[in-house]
Amino acid sequence: MGMKRRDFLKTSAVGLAAPSALFSGVTIEPNMNDPLILSTWEHGLPANDAAWAVLQKGRSAMDAAEAGARVPEADPKSTSVGFGGLPDELGNVTLDACVMDSTGNAGSVAFLQNIKHPVSVARKVMEDTKHVMLVGEGARQFALAQGFEEMNLLTDESKAAWEKWKKKRREMTPHETHDTISVLVQDKKGDLAGACTTSGWAYKLHGRVGDSPIIGAGLFVDNEIGCAAATGLGEEVIKTTGSFLVVELMRQGYEPTAACEEALNRVIKKHKGNPDFQIAYIAIRKDGEIGSACIKWTFEYALARDGVNKLYKVKGMI
């Protein structure tokens, strides 16, 4: 049946009314004067300490998140992030990172090699370019032009682990080689920001990029509602736009943990109730409520608030 343009416009206007009512969501009173930092995994503890020190100086959530993420990036014992990160199948350490601030601005780098602090390069992309994302050789050239030093990120230990893996070439999933550092921060003004950085899936195909540098997948910040970040199997996080989904669910009134669980439910359902991989989310709502959930096994997050920095265990949903 044909529809005249005028009728069509009328229908669309009515059609729009319902979603806008549905998505008007909750009014969230901002949490002021109670800064907090929420990070993934055990390496979140030293990351939180560094971020906390930055907040104590009265600096922004973005400054704190970046400072936090730089700690595991520089630590050769964090074998899933930055220097000392496990390489791809050819033995190259390739890094993904992103940042997002309280104004909704974002920057990211993917498939970056030989630069120790991808999170800071991502911040430079956000602040000093008109772009959001730089990848590979272009990202490396940009980093060098910005004064970042080039270095070999493959340590003797991660090289030895790669050589051992090469003999058997068993496919590994990210949960075996923990894991991305994501740092979410709410500063004294109640503003939110986040950073995310990883060497990704150990022994991945050369050129593989995960969720961590993808805004909306590995990280999302909406200063009206909250922020969320992911760790785990990046491919599945990308396919469900995970962190964006967690924030949008909070906008619709879901509690932070329920929002993380509902986002994971989509993945669990797609995999017939029993995925054989891990994904975990962390989230801060604008009022200072935090949440987290993971698909299976356990996950740990580090929370710093009220001067206490502690690791918490989350039990898997299935």
Nearest distance from residue 57's CB to ligand ASP, in Å? 30
Residues 192 and 8: their CA atoms lie apart, in Å, by 40
Tokens standing for residue 80: 């899933």
The reply to whether 198 sits near ligand ASP by the rule CB under 6 A is yes
Nearest to 292 by CA among 232, 252, 239: 232
The reply to whether 232 sits near ligand ASP by the rule CB under 6 A is yes
The reply to whether 212 sits near ligand ASP by the rule CB under 6 A is yes
The reply to whether 243 sits near ligand ASP by the rule CB under 6 A is no
| DSSP per-residue letters across 59-83 | --HHHHHHHHHHHHHH-TT-TTSST
Total binding residues for ligand ASP by CB under 6 A?
Answer: 13
Interface with ligand ASP (CB under 6 A), residue from 111, 142, 201, 244: 201
The reply to whether 79 sits near ligand ASP by the rule CB under 6 A is no
The reply to whether 31 sits near ligand ASP by the rule CB under 6 A is no
Tokens standing for residue 61: 């959530």
The reply to whether 180 sits near ligand ASP by the rule CB under 6 A is yes
Nearest distance from residue 279's CB to ligand ASP, in Å? 8
The reply to whether 94 sits near ligand ASP by the rule CB under 6 A is no
Nearest distance from residue 29's CB to ligand ASP, in Å? 32
Interface with ligand ASP (CB under 6 A), residue from 73, 211, 261, 287: 211
How distant, in Å, are the alpha carbons of 55, 199, 293, 311 from that of 282? Answer: 20, 19, 7, 13
Residues 136 and 118: their CA atoms lie apart, in Å, by 11
How distant, in Å, are the alpha carbons of 34, 86, 133, 236, 266 from that of 46? Answer: 20, 20, 27, 28, 32
Residues 120 and 197: their CA atoms lie apart, in Å, by 10
Residues 280 and 302: their CA atoms lie apart, in Å, by 13
Q: Of the two residues 111 and 254, which places its CB atom closer to ligand ASP in the complex?
A: 111
Q: Of the two residues 78 and 223, which places its CB atom closer to ligand ASP in the complex?
A: 78
Of residues 40 through 69, those in contact with ligand ASP by CB under 6 A are none
Give the residue carrying structure tokens 């540098």.
213
Nearest to 99 by CA among 67, 72, 143: 67
The reply to whether 179 sits near ligand ASP by the rule CB under 6 A is yes
Q: Which stretch binds ligand ASP (CB under 6 A): 119-127, 172-180, 221-229, 285-293?
A: 172-180
Nearest distance from residue 16's CB to ligand ASP, in Å? 35
Catalytic residue among 40, 180, 231, 240: 180
How distant, in Å, are the alpha carbons of 51, 89, 127, 195, 313 from that of 69? Answer: 8, 25, 17, 7, 20
Nearest distance from residue 200's CB to ligand ASP, in Å? 3
Interface with ligand ASP (CB under 6 A), residue from 210, 226, 256, 288: 210
Q: Which stretch binds ligand ASP (CB under 6 A): 28-36, 106-114, 195-203, 281-289?
A: 195-203
How distant, in Å, are the alpha carbons of 100, 244, 257 from that of 248? Answer: 16, 6, 13
Contact 295, 275 (CB under 8 A): yes
11 given a catalytic annotation? no
- Summarize as ranges the residues that interact with ligand ASP (CB under 6 A): 174, 179-180, 198, 200-201, 210-212, 231-234
Which active-site residues does the annotation give? 180
